[in-house]
């Protein structure tokens, strides 16, 4: 803003920081902040919402979002969400949606997963017993997995050819630094970027930045640390190399006790697999399961070869004394199609149709056994299970009361398309031809020759000039130059962009220096006009946009009606802040550091509104105004807040700083202002 101003602002921030941590500042609140989990924050026909319900809902949010919803405003949002959920659920029960066929189908699927989960836990994972002998045996059979490879650091140059390698070595022997020689001769971009020094060479078959050059790795393996002498030039299939070993930390075999926890993590899945295989083998006998291997060998999971399955789609591939364990080819393929792309890839790579059959059978067998043995008693009161059932009921209620009531006409789609046509357009762009130089003398010489050829429309001559004079002839054509102050291939450069767009197609620029320092001139070759997607191309997106807006409005309408129907009464005045002023200051500071200024101001507002003790609210008011002035650059609002600050708090340690901010924002800080410093 003005000379020395940033120095002064630094002092202001330091002063605030000290002030915030002062131990002698009173923070006693005048009101009783005690909370009770059973405090009723809302009530309705059929139940109540307590403080504990709010806190439980917040605790289930990702940790990074919880602080926002612990504020008064955040808790109010959560209360409103729970209230809406409760009346929707009451309405769903009134409508009998708990027995809706679609809901029951979803609940049946989730129940199956819980049956399988409980059966596996109680008959497999809980029964696995791993002894120290098991762990030691695995360790001895897999010693290489627990070997700590050496950690080697090398200086390395990959030369273009033998002659370049010899020149590089000669310069190194003259005492020129390895980094300098690497910059000149290194063809390996990874090593060159590190000034030739490659760390973490482990002798494990892969050299960082180089790859699996076994011959070079053996050279390193047989070398010793020597910072004075060089190895090479040597040639391998990967090229010519010069190197030296600058550091070597020896590898070692890890002790059994050191890796025992890691071994247990590896052995447990193996033991569980053994136990599961034995269990499913017995269940296959119990249910007389037979797999038709002849049909198995003819099934293709490849989507491009699915037609080959048509003759056998209704053939039974798995038969059993239990009808629910019988599968046709069609059923198996349908189940495969329901899997996620990642699961499908896993099956295709892991055994194809045989793995799919084994997976379906294993799950089917565990489900039947769990159901037959009443395993629902283990999850019927499980919170996740109950919440999943409730979610399906709520989703169906939303469909019935909101989503299914939405109608969208062709006229609405056409009107929205015309109104927001620009959203579906590709803006106009220009194509330019650029010549690059490392000095203006060469650039001006080339420009004169290029200009002469351009006036004669001699394209061949212009291309010859590009090849002869430009540093980057292969990058002469730069396409997709939009009128946005950004040059594709250069970055942000408003002046360059304005030259392209403030002149007609065919314009030949003078020699100039770009924002990133390139000496260039260019010619505008052509302009591609903006284009629009048709209404038909955007109809799906338009329909989705309109539906979303209508659903939001309908949701609000239905929610309000249900609040009335079920006599929902909320008591927002009973919501109290659960965070201390110190916690709020910390959250505000963290939000500001992450440039999330909206949240930072929200935290300061919470302090201002809930900690009115002329201390915390005093500091928060100043910091809010300071943030709006310095980070958000909202001058008028900042001025208003600083003036209100001085009116509300006539005295205080930060008042001089507030007055200084007002003076600076109004332009009254003198140019030669020099803050006082203590010697």
CA distance 555 to 559: 6
Rg of the chain taking only CA atoms, in angstroms: 36
Q: What is the dihedral of CA 300, 305, 306, 308, to 10 degrees?
A: -80
DSSP state letters, 61-102: S-HHHHHHHTSHHHHHHHHHHHHHHHHHHHHHHHTTGGG-HH
In CATH terms, 150-250 corresponds, of 3.10.50.40, 3.30.450.20, 2.40.70.10, 3.30.300.170, to 3.10.50.40
**pLDDT tens digits for 398-438?**
999 999 999 999 999 999 999 988 888 889 999 999 999 98
What are the structural domain ranges in the chain? 19-75+578-654, 150-250, 428-529
Instruction: Look over the chain and give the mean of its residue pLDDT values, rounded to a whole number.
Output: 90
Q: Enter the DSSP assignment of 225.
A: B
In the predicted structure, residue 678 carries a pLDDT above the cut 70: no
Give residue 167's pLDDT: 95
DSSP state letters, 608-674: HHH--SSSHHHHHHHHHHHHHHHTS--HHHHHHHHHHHHHH-SS-TTHHHHHHHHHHHTT-S-TT--
Degrees, nearest 5: CA angle 149-155-158: 105
Give residue 53's pLDDT: 94
What pLDDT band is residue 226 in, cutting at 50, 70 and 90?
Answer: very high
CB 276 within 8 A of CB 305: no
Give residue 507's pLDDT: 97
User: What's the token pair of residue 35?
Assistant: 């909370």
Q: Is 309 helix (H, G, I), strand (E, B) or coil?
A: helix
Give residue 556's pLDDT: 95
Give residue 669's pLDDT: 65
User: What's the token pair of residue 429?
Assistant: 């762009």
User: Average pLDDT for residues 147-162, to the nearest whole number?
Assistant: 95
**pLDDT tens digits for 282-308?**
999 999 999 999 999 999 998 888 899
**pLDDT tens digits for 208-223?**
999 899 999 999 999 9
In the predicted structure, residue 7 carries a pLDDT above the cut 50: no
Calculate the CA 371 to chain-centre distance: 40
**pLDDT tens digits for 110-136?**
999 999 999 999 999 999 999 999 999
CA distance 573 to 557: 24
CA within 13 Å, CB half, 610: 24
Give residue 34's pLDDT: 55
CB 516 within 8 A of CB 491: yes
Roughly what angle, to the nearest 10 degrees, separates helices 162-173 and 178-185?
160
Query: Tokens 């399988």 belong to which residue?
Result: 116
Give residue 379's pLDDT: 95
Query: Tokens 């990874």 belong to which residue?
Result: 190
CB 54 within 8 A of CB 82: yes
Largest separation between any pair of C-alpha atoms in the chain: 96
Report the percent of the chain where pLDDT is more than 90: 75
Residue 374 neighbours by CB under 8 Å, 6+ apart: none
User: What's the token pair of residue 34?
Assistant: 């005690």
CA distance 534 to 418: 10
**pLDDT tens digits for 502-546?**
999 999 999 999 988 889 999 999 999 999 899 999 999 999 999
In the predicted structure, residue 679 carries a pLDDT above the cut 90: no
**pLDDT tens digits for 596-632?**
898 889 889 989 988 999 999 999 999 999 999 988 8
CB 143 within 8 A of CB 253: yes
Q: What is the dihedral of CA 328, 329, 334, 338, to 10 degrees?
A: 100
Task: Name the most confidently modeled range: 192-196, 489-493, 666-670.
Answer: 192-196
Give residue 14's pLDDT: 44
CA distances, 514 to each of 215, 437, 478, 489 (Å): 46, 11, 14, 12
Give residue 677's pLDDT: 46
Residue 606 neighbours by CB under 8 Å, 6+ apart: 71, 72, 73, 577, 579, 584
What pLDDT band is residue 68 in, cutting at 50, 70 and 90?
Answer: confident
Give residue 15's pLDDT: 41
What pLDDT band is residue 33 in, cutting at 50, 70 and 90?
Answer: very low
In the predicted structure, residue 676 carries a pLDDT above the cut 60: no
- CATH tag, 428-529: 3.10.50.40
Give residue 606's pLDDT: 87
**pLDDT tens digits for 314-350?**
999 999 999 999 999 999 999 999 999 999 999 988 8
CB 39 within 8 A of CB 50: yes
CB 509 within 8 A of CB 499: yes
> Do 150-250 and 428-529 show the same overall fold?
yes
CA distance 12 to 539: 55
In the predicted structure, residue 59 carries a pLDDT above the cut 90: yes
CA distances, 523 to each of 70, 305, 450, 487 (Å): 59, 52, 10, 14
Calculate the CA 635 to chain-centre distance: 34
Give residue 194's pLDDT: 93
**pLDDT tens digits for 456-487?**
999 999 999 999 999 999 999 999 999 999 99
User: Average pLDDT for residues 564-587, to the nearest whole number?
Assistant: 89
DSSP state letters, 123-176: HTGGG----HHHHHHHHHHTGGGGEE--EEEEEEEEESSHHHHHHHHHHHHTT-
- The model carries a pTM of 0.67
DSSP state letters, 469-522: H-S-GGG-EEEEEESSSEETTTEE-HHHHHHHHSS-TT-B---EE-TTS-EEEE
In the predicted structure, residue 651 carries a pLDDT above the cut 50: yes
CA distance 351 to 299: 13
Report the percent of the chain where pLDDT is more than 70: 93
Q: Enter the DSSP assignment of 377.
A: G
């Amino acid at each position: 803003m003005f000379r020395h101003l940033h120095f002064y602002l630094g002092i202001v921030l330091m002063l605030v920081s000290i002030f915030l941590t002062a131990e002698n500042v009173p923070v006693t609140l005048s009101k009783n902040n005690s909370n009770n989990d059973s405090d009723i924050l809302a009530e309705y026909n059929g139940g109540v919402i307590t403080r504990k319900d709010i806190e439980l809902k917040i605790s289930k949010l990702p940790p990074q979002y919880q602080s926002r919803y612990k504020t008064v405003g955040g808790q109010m949002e959560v209360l409103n969400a729970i209230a809406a959920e409760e009346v929707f659920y009451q309405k769903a029960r009134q409508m009998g949606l708990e027995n809706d066929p679609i809901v029951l189908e979803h609940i049946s699927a989730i129940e199956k997963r819980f049956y399988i989960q409980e059966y596996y836990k109680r008959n497999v994972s809980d029964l696995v017993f791993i002894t120290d002998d098991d762990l030691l045996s695995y360790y001895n059979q897999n010693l290489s997995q627990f070997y700590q490879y050496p950690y080697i650091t090398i200086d390395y140059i990959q030369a273009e050819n033998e002659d370049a390698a010899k020149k590089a070595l000669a310069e190194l022997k003259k005492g020129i630094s390895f980094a300098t020689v690497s910059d000149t001769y290194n063809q390996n971009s990874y090593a060159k970027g590190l000034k030739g020094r490659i760390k973490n060479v482990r002798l494990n078959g892969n050299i960082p930045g180089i790859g699996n050059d076994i011959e070079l790795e053996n050279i390193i393996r047989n070398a010793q640390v020597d910072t004075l002498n060089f190895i090479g030039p040597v040639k391998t299939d990967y090229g010519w190399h010069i190197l030296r070993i600058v550091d070597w930390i020896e590898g070692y075999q890890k002790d059994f006790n050191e890796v025992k926890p890691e071994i247990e993590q590896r052995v447990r899945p193996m033991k569980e697999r053994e136990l599961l295989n034995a269990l499913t083998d017995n269940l296959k006998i119990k249910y007389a399961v037979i797999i038709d291997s002849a049909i198995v060998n003819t099934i293709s999971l490849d989507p491009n070869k699915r037609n080959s399955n048509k003759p056998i789609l209704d053939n039974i591939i798995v038969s059993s004394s239990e009808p629910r364990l019988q599968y046709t080819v069609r059923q198996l393929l349908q189940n495969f199609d329901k899997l996620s792309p990642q699961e499908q890839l896993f099956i295709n790579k892991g055994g194809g149709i045989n793995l799919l059959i084994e997976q379906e059978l294993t799950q089917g067998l565990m489900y039947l056994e769990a159901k037959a043995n009443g395993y629902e008693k283990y999850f019927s009161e499980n919170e996740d299970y109950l919440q999943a059932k409730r979610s399906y009921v709520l989703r169906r209620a939303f469909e019935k009361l909101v989503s299914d009531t939405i109608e969208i006409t062709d006229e609405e789609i056409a009107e929205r398309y015309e109104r927001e046509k620009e959203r579906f357009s590709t803006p106009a762009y220009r194509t330019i031809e650029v010549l690059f130089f490392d000095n203006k003398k060469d650039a001006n010489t080339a420009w004169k020759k290029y200009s002469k050829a351009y006036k004669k429309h001699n394209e061949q001559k212009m291309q010859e000039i590009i090849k002869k004079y430009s540093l980057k002839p292969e990058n002469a054509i730069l396409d997709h130059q939009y009128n946005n102050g950004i040059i594709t291939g250069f970055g942000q450069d408003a002046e360059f962009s304005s030259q392209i767009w403030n002149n007609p197609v065919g314009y030949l620029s003078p020699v100039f220096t770009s924002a990133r320092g390139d000496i260039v001139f260019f010619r505008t070759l052509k302009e591609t006009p903006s284009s629009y997607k048709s209404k038909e191309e955007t109809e799906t997106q338009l329909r989705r946009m309109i539906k979303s807006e209508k659903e939001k409005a309908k949701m609000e309408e239905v929610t309000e009606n249900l609040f009335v129907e079920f006599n929902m009464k909320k008591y927002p005045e009973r919501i109290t802040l659960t965070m201390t002023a110190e916690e709020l200051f910390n959250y505000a500071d963290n939000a500001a550091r992450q440039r999330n200024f909206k949240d930072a101001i929200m935290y300061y507002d919470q302090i201002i509104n809930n900690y009115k003790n002329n201390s915390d609210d005093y500091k928060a008011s100043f910091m809010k105004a300071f943030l709006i002035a310095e980070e958000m650059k909202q001058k008028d609002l900042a001025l208003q807040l600083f003036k209100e600050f001085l009116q509300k708090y006539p005295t205080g340690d930060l008042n001089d700083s507030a007055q200084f901010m007002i003076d600076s924002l109004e332009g009254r800080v003198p140019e030669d202002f020099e803050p006082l410093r203590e010697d």
